[in-house]
């Protein structure tokens, strides 16, 4: 018999996600509705807890190495697309989520999907709160409380080496060899390298800083045999 979740914390959050996935698979519309129905049975506070935890895990997954994986799975991935991709990643459950942050190439083990986006996951908690109270959940948002939650969630995350670096396509095949082998033909990868090797906005201060300070994966060797 499945556990009945009545309170949302970082552990029961994943229980609820797992139950939703078991019930709905990769049907993200049904997934969101199932979660909303369960949260409607709880208190407004639990709906807010769910909303904050979703956003916390989504923020913790903002990593350029994972973005490269999303670009392979989605045949390119915009800023907004990466937000929605991280929603999809959370919906795959705790084990898949944590494994992807330790090694984005582990997503090669996840069965292929028609769609790797789950935009509405980011709205489920807030919409449920509004239905229960008639108020916008963001009016109750406290930055310090949220940051403390993110710090707590982060304790369970193990980031893989090199995940903070924004890779070019010419480096991606070495960083994510299994994903490239599964989802990209050699011809497609060669075309990307030749025509669109730099997938990032190189005028972005964030990208410039990451390229200047972040460590590349040890899989990526510089010309003189060193990793950055």
The mean pLDDT value for 36-62 works out to 97
The mean pLDDT value for 115-131 works out to 96
Q: Which of 92, 88, 94 is nearest to 116 (CA)?
A: 88
The mean pLDDT value for 196-208 works out to 86
What six digits make up the tokens of 61? 């997954």
Angle at the Cα of 218 (from 217 to 222), degrees rounded to 5? 95
CB within 8 A of 165, min separation 6: which ones?
Answer: 64, 65, 210, 211, 214, 215, 216, 217, 228
pTM confidence score: 0.93
Exposed/middle/buried for residue 89 (C-beta within 10 Å: 0-12, 13-18, 19+): buried
pLDDT tens by residue, 128-187: 999 999 988 777 888 999 999 999 999 999 999 999 999 999 999 999 999 999 999 999
pLDDT at 1: 52
Confidence check: pLDDT of 14 > 90: yes
The mean pLDDT value for 183-199 works out to 89
């Amino acid at each position: 018999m499945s556990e009945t979740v009545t309170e949302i914390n970082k552990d029961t959050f994943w229980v609820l996600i797992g139950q939703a996935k078991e019930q709905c698979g990769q049907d993200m519309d049904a997934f969101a509705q199932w979660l909303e129905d369960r949260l409607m049975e709880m208190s407004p506070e639990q709906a807010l807890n769910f909303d904050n935890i979703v956003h916390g895990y989504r923020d913790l997954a903002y990593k350029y190495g994972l973005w490269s994986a999303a670009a392979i799975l989605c045949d390119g991935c915009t800023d907004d697309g990466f937000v929605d991709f991280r929603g999809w990643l959370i919906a795959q459950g705790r084990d898949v989520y944590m494994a992807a942050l330790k090694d984005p190439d582990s997503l090669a083990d996840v069965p292929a999907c028609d769609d790797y986006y789950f935009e509405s996951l980011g709205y489920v908690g807030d919409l449920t709160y509004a239905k229960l109270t008639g108020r916008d959940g963001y009016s109750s948002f406290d930055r310090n409380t949220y940051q403390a939650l993110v710090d707590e969630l982060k304790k369970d995350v193990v980031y893989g080496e090199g995940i903070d670096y924004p890779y070019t396509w010419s480096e991606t095949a070495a960083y994510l060899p299994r994903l490239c082998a599964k989802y990209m033909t050699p011809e497609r990868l060669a075309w990307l390298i030749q025509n669109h090797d730099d997938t990032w906005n190189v005028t972005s201060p964030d990208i410039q800083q990451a390229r200047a300070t972040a460590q590349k994966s040890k899989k990526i060797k510089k010309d003189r045999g060193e990793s950055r």
